[in-house]
């Protein structure tokens, strides 16, 4: 009868160690932060023209904006027409990414053509113009 004792007066609490769970949560958090792709915006608001043939492009790209008054902006800073070629060359050294130009619909076509030309002279193979999808 001594083999099975019921020691009800022993009050041992079961403790769950949650430190491995916290480690797993932090590892998952770091994984999602590292693998997330961030889209770098141009830093200015432009009124894009509409087009019926609009398609979605890659998330990793060089975004250059042309405002209605002719300013050329990348990353919130005005770079001017002379800043396009060095910027695109530097970005193309890492990987071959497309150049997307967000031009205001009131931009003169000559300035838009010069921006496209500078990007292509810097080595960009794909240069696109950002538009809004036509809803009609």
Q: What digits encode the pLDDT tens for the residues 19-35?
A: 889 999 999 998 888 87
Between β-strands 62-66 and 50-51, what pairing exists: parallel, antiparallel or unpaired?
unpaired
pLDDT at position 102: 86
- Phi, psi torsion values for 63, nearest 5 degrees: -100, 115
Alpha-carbon gap, residue 5 to 130, rounded angstroms:
79
Q: Is the pTM of this model over 0.75?
A: no
Alpha-carbon gap, residue 67 to 74, rounded angstroms:
11
pLDDT at position 77: 85
Mean pLDDT confidence for 68-85: 87
Residue 108 pLDDT greater than 70, yes or no? yes
- For residues 66 and 136, the model is more confident at 66
pLDDT at position 124: 86
Task: Report which DSSP code applies to 60.
Answer: S
Min mean pLDDT across 9-23, 31-45, 47-61 is at 47-61
Name the percent of the chain lying above pLDDT 70: 71
Which residues make beta-bridge pairs with 74?
77
Residue 16 confidence class, pLDDT cut points 50, 70, 90:
confident
Q: What is the mean pLDDT of the chain?
A: 79
- Domains detected in the chain: 50-133 (3.30.420.270)
CA distances from 62 to 47, 56, 119, 134 (A): 19, 15, 10, 24
Residue with tokens 């916290």: 22
């Amino acid at each position: 009868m001594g083999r099975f004792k019921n020691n009800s007066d022993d009050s041992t609490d079961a403790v769950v160690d949650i430190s491995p769970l916290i480690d797993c949560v932090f590892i998952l958090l770091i994984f999602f932060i590292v693998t997330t792709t961030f889209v770098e915006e141009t830093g200015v608001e432009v009124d894009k023209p509409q087009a019926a043939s609009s398609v979605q492009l890659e998330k990793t790209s060089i975004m250059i904006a042309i405002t209605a008054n002719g300013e050329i902006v990348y990353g919130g800073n005005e770079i001017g027409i002379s800043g396009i070629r060095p910027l695109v060359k530097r970005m193309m050294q890492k990987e071959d990414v497309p150049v997307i130009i967000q031009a205001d619909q009131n931009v003169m076509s000559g300035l838009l053509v010069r921006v496209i030309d500078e990007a292509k002279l810097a080595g960009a193979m794909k240069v696109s113009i950002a538009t809004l999808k036509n809803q009609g």
